[in-house]
Chain A
Amino acid sequence: GENVEQHPSTLSVQEGDSAVIKCTYSDSASNYFPWYKQELGKGPQLIIDIRSNVGEKKDQRIAVTLNKTAKHFSLHITETQPEDSAVYFCAVFERGANNLFFGTGTRLTVIP
Chain B
Amino acid sequence: DTGVSQDPRHKITKRGQNVTFRCDPISEHNRLYWYRQTLGQGPEFLTYFQNEAQLEKSRLLSDRFSAERPKGSFSTLEIQRTEQGDSAMYLCASSQPGANEQFFGPGTRLTVL
Binding site for B on A (CB under 8 A): 4, 6, 32, 34, 36, 41-46, 49, 51, 89, 91, 93, 97-105
Contacts and interface: CB of A to CB of B under 8 A. Distances in A.
Contacts of A104: 40-42
Contact of A99 (B40, B41, B45, B105): B45
B100 A32 contact: yes
A63 to B, nearest CB: 18
A99 B48 contact: yes
A44 B56 contact: no
Given A43-B91, A44-B91, A101 B45 contact: yes
B74 to A, nearest CB: 16
Interface in B43-97: 43-45, 48, 55-56, 59, 91
A46 B91 contact: no
Interface string B3-33: 0101000000000000000000000000001
Given A98-B48, A98-B56, A105 B40 contact: yes
Contacts of B100: 32, 34, 49, 51, 93
A59 B113 CA distance: 44
